[in-house]
């Protein structure tokens, strides 16, 4: 049962180990892909610039909004 839950994790690890560990390291170090050192390095490597989902959502909604609950 526990091994069934780890199967997707192991499949991604074995399919693309460099990309997997790169994503894991960037997550652990809390690197933002839109910050300058990382962004310029990715552009030098030939990666296409992409907008994050959070930034696109905030652009669409005008940012955080406050609500009142009665």
Residue 34 lies in a domain: yes
pLDDT above 70 covers what percent of the chain? 77
Unique residue bearing structure tokens 């994050």:
52
Instruction: Return d(Cα 64, Cα 42) in angstroms, integer.
Output: 29
Residue 51 lies in a domain: no
Residue 9 lies in a domain: yes
Residue 54 lies in a domain: no
**Domains: count for the chain:** 1
Domain that holds residue 26: 2-44
> Which structure tokens are listed for 8?
């997707």
Q: Is the pLDDT of residue 29 over 70?
A: yes
Residue 15 lies in a domain: yes
pLDDT at 44: 78
Give the gyration radius of the chain's Cα atoms: 18
Residue 58 lies in a domain: no
pLDDT at 60: 63
């Amino acid at each position: 049962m526990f091994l069934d839950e780890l199967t997707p994790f192991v499949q991604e690890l074995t399919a693309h180990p460099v990309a997997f560990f790169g994503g894991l390291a960037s997550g652990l170090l809390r690197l933002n892909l839109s910050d300058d050192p990382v962004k310029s390095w990715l552009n030098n490597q030939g990666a296409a610039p992409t907008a994050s989902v959070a930034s696109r959502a905030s652009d669409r909604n005008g940012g955080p909004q406050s609500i009142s609950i009665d």
